[in-house]
Amino acid sequence: MFIRKSIIAATGLFLCLFLVVHLSANCILILPEETARTLYNSYSTTLRESPLIKIIAYVLYLSIMLHIIYALLITRSNKKAKPRGYHVNRTKDNSSWISQNMGFLGITILLFLIVHLTNFWARIKLGIGENVGLDNNGHKDVYEVTYALFQNVYVVLFYTVLMVPLGMHLNHGLKSALMTLGFYHKKGLRLLAKLSLIYASIIAIGFGVIPLIVFFK
Amino acid sequence: MKATFKIWRQEGGDAEGQFRLYDVDGLTEDMSFLEALDHLNEQLVQRNENVIAFEYDCREGICGQCGVFINGRAHGPNDAMTTCQVHMRSFKDGELIVVEPWRAAAFPIIKDLVVDRSALDRIIEHGGYISAKTGTAPEANAILIAKDKADKAMDAAACIGCGACVASCKNASAALFTSAKINHLNNLPQGKQEASKRVLEMTRQMELEGFGSCTFTGACEVECPEGISIINIAEMNASRIKAKWLE
Ligand code: HEM
Ligand code: FES
């Protein structure tokens, strides 16, 4: 059981790190059109062709799968430990809503992830769906895929709104993961709580506004 | 003072339980919550009905016997307090007071509000002690213990094993209880010798008993009558990782 929980925490932390890199790269998208197109496409091509990134990508896929599988397994065994709830339960008086609903928040992220991967990863990496064109440098025009997608209001809303549960999941997840892995420094934990909130806000707001900026470009 | 009690009644472990409503008159604000239940039971005796089973011993916050879930909180509406320390002045006149037993697969119901918490005793049996014979109380300064270590051990040792942490946890995790018992001993020179064995065996027993895993909601430390901090759980995890994978 503890090994499962440690895997959820370790893979969660790795995913947290991935999100920082991912968000930094996505910031290119808000630059002026031509610069953004050249930069984003050449960045994306470099990544796709690097053998090191290939390995990291596989670690990433594995992390996502392990995180989800073990989260679901642990949620199931936790339900078994508490088969019956209370008639009246004032959890709000003793804990945050977020911490009580990590599984639900995770499922909404999973929903986002499925749509997100179909929109980009499947088209660009697997070649499933509409063909991706080339830019003037002969690079796959990933910028165009993004730009075209974010012309649709509903898509933009989906991408923006679902960053809220992501931010919530990360706010609790970051602190919880470090405690699961044995970080118990008292003052450090107080700082960690603040850092988790800052980190989660940057990720959620960052990923959330980029589609809006692209839409209004 | 009046109150309506909505209390979980269950004949035995396998029996179906249900809530029963009791209108109780003649209460006073100075009565403890348990005295109010006594008062209700006296009326049930006079009406020739079965009394409500609930547990207590010291009635002063020491023994940890008395825990029940009151209006959605372990040990009632106040933070850091046992059920026996709750007074009727914590409720409004005429309030509906819902009383439920601790809910956890590892705490089967014995009768009404009484649950079997012996799973916690079995965790203690797996290392919540020092195996060497230490004789009578030694001279106080014979073994020097740094102040911060002594404080940490004493804070953890305050656990009275009431089970509120398990009861309030959405996963029915016993991590706060187990970590308190482990850290109490592992922080002291007498307990250090068996620290790794203790952490491995006690946490193993905790899992065998069917308690869930810790998600750090923090509900337990708010409901704990002794205010034991969840930092203890993180410290237990650190010792666990060290004992399991680094030693
Ligand atoms: C970008 C994606 C994700 C990231 C960065 C992430 C990150 C994290 C982190 C750091 C934790 C803390 C682990 C701990 O409490 O020790 C966590 C917990 C959790 N995650 Fe995720 N997660 C992601 C996606 C998901 C998804 C798709 C699910 C879907 C089921 C999920 C379900 C959970 C659950 C249920 C927990 C809590 C486990 C518990 O309650 O004990 N997560 N996550
Ligand atoms: S009866 Fe002893 S702590 Fe409440």
Which residues constitute the domain of residue B22? 3-111
A202: CATH: 1.20.1300.10
Tens of pLDDT along A24-59? 999 999 999 999 999 999 999 999 999 999 999 999
Q: In A, residues 70-129, which contact B (CB 8 Å cutoff)? A: 74, 77-78, 80-91, 93-96, 99-100, 102
- Tokens linked to B156: 């953890």
- Tokens linked to B61: 């916050």
Check residue A193 and report its DSSP letter.
H
SS3 A52: helix
Strands B18-24, B3-9: pairing kind: antiparallel
Tens of pLDDT along A126-171? 888 888 999 999 999 999 999 999 999 999 999 999 999 999 999 9
B215 in the same domain as B125? yes
How far apart CA B138 and CA B120 sit, in angstroms, is: 29
B219 in the same domain as B129? yes
Among residues B59, B94, B111, the one where a domain terminates is B111
- A 10 A CB-CB count for B151 gives 12
B168 interface with A at CB cutoff 8 Å: yes
Contact between A79 and A20 under an 8 Å Cβ cutoff? The reply is no
Q: Is residue A90 part of a domain?
A: no
pLDDT at B123 > cutoff 90:
yes
Contact between A149 and A214 under an 8 Å Cβ cutoff? The reply is no
How many domains is chain B built from?
2
Q: Please, is A5 exposed, middle or buried when counting C-beta atoms within 10 Å of its C-beta (0-12, 13-18, 19+)?
A: buried
Residue of chain A nearest B100, judged by CA positions: A86
Range scoring the smallest mean pLDDT among A178-182, B99-103, B190-194:
B190-194
The model's pTM: 0.92
B235 in the same domain as B138? yes
pLDDT at B146 > cutoff 90:
yes
B75: CATH: 3.10.20.30
* Residue type for position B180: A
- The answer to whether the CB atoms of A95 and B218 lie below 8 A apart is yes
How many domains is chain A built from?
1
Which residues constitute the domain of residue A151? 2-82+100-216
Q: How confident is the model at residue B134 (pLDDT cuts 50, 70, 90)?
A: confident
Q: Is residue A95 part of a domain?
A: no
Contact between A86 and B177 under an 8 Å Cβ cutoff? The reply is no
DSSP letters spanning A141-192: -HHHHHHHHTTSHHHHHHHHHTHHHHHHHHHHHHHHHHHHTT---HHHHHHH
Q: Is residue A205 part of a domain?
A: yes
At A152 the pLDDT is: 97
Among residues B83, B111, B139, the one where a domain terminates is B111
At A201 the pLDDT is: 98
B203 in the same domain as B139? yes
B127 in the same domain as B69? no
What whole-number percentage of chain B has pLDDT above 70? 100
Please give the distance, rounded to the nearest whole angstrom, from the Cα atom of residue A110 to the centre of ligand 1: 10
B206: CATH: 1.10.1060.10
Mutational pocket test of ligand 2: of B33, B55, B60, the residue with most ligand atoms within 8 Å of the beta carbon: B60
How far apart CA A118 and CA A54 sit, in angstroms, is: 19
Q: Is residue A112 part of a domain?
A: yes
Residue of chain B nearest A188, judged by CA positions: B231
Tabulate helix, strand, coil % of chain B (nearest 5). 40, 15, 50
Among residues B85, B111, B137, the one where a domain terminates is B111
Range scoring the smallest mean pLDDT among A148-152, A180-184, B189-193:
B189-193
Q: How confident is the model at residue B238 (pLDDT cuts 50, 70, 90)?
A: very high
B189 in the same domain as B88? no
